[in-house]
Structure 1
Amino acid sequence: MNGKKISLLALFIGISVVGASLKIPAIIGSVALDAFPALLAATFFGGGAGAIVAGVGHMISALLGGMPMGPLHFVVAVEMALLALLFAYTWKRKWLASVLFIFGNAILAPIPFIYIYDWAFYVALVPSLLIGSIVNTAVALLLISRIQHIFTRGVVKG
């Protein structure tokens, strides 16, 4: 990875920090707009870059929210990284990538917490995660279509 890509990854992580401060009301305070920069990075630079932005972005979002689930946020960061990878690998079919990200983030990712906490926690968390996933994905899709030319034939090409 060259210096230009590392700098852009740092920029996307910075955008994720800003998004992390834009919270969506939830039973747990870490549902935020921190995922859309990871989807942008996954689209423009590949799954690995998107995974880095997703994992770091979630951890910063959790720190800003007070780490309400403690070290379990590391599990969520890994899940977010895997979802960014999946988004990158299915991106040629934009709607499939979007639906898989939303379903994975809102329905599948919180499943381990059924066993750690209980069903009530899962049921309380899913609506907020669903709204957050839809908003993050919609913002990413809107921005991808608006700035894609910069990454394909503009300043950042190569």
Structure 2
Amino acid sequence: MKLQRLTLTALFAAMCVIGGMIKIPSAMGSLALDTVPALLSVAFLPPLFSGIAATLGHVASAMYAGFPMGPFHVLVALEMFAIVVIFSYLHKAGYTLMKWGFFILANGLLAPLPFYFLVSPAFFVGILPSILVATLLNSAVAAVVIPALQQVAKGRMGALR
């Protein structure tokens, strides 16, 4: 079981890397669809492992873009870890609407907030629309795919029994 969990984590992290290469046009070069696989992973992995996939996905996406925010990407990776872990707990508890509301609020509005103080209010206001759009796109794709993946997984598990 441990090997299966590690393999799935590596698979979702790799898909996050691929999603990180699908850029969302914005003022920031590191916005991408890297979060979609991490959000999908909550249907199959424990929260901690989904958080790890999200963290690795963000780092790979930022690296692919040339680390446009330098060391601040460490902060963003830690925020992604926390957000996806909480999202996963909400998913596992069955809070469907709450998990999406939380993700959009946390990733689209709260995660950029430290940059208001660390960089400048103007930077924060400038990046907020792009981050919110990227969050909404990642959410929309994952919201459509998660139920389909769960149905496929349910069918496969039934066939294996």
Q: Tell me whether the two structures share a fold, i.e. TM-score over 0.5.
A: yes
**Corresponding residue of 1:125:** 127
Matching residue within 93, 96, 99 for 1:94: 96
**Corresponding residue of 1:38:** 38
CA change 1:150–1:6 in 2 (3 A) is farther
SS in 2 for 1:90: helix
Matched, 1:28 2:28: yes
**Corresponding residue of 2:150:** 148
Consecutive unaligned residues in structure 1, runs of 5 or more: none
SS in 2 for 1:45: coil
In the TM superposition, what whole-angstrom CA distance separates every residue of 1:57-86 from its partner, at most 9, and x where no partner exists? 000000001101111101000000100011
Mapped partners of 1:126, 1:42: distance in 2: 26
Number of aligned pairs?
157
**1:1-158 equivalences in 2 (<5 Å):** 2-91=2-91, 92-152=94-154, 154-155=156-157
In the TM superposition, what whole-angstrom CA distance separates every residue of 1:78-101 from its partner, at most 9, and x where no partner exists? 000100011111111111101110
TM-score by length of 1: 0.93
Q: Does the aligned pair in 2 maintain the 1:43–1:50 contact within 8 Å? A: no
Moved more, 125-134 or 38-47: 38-47
TM-score by length of 2: 0.91
- State the identity as a percent: 37
Mapped partners of 1:135, 1:24: distance in 2: 9
Mapped partners of 2:72, 2:32: distance in 1: 17
Q: Does the aligned pair in 2 maintain the 1:42–1:48 contact within 8 Å? A: no
Over the aligned positions, Cα root-mean-square deviation in angstroms equals 1.7
Moved over 3 A (4+): 150-153
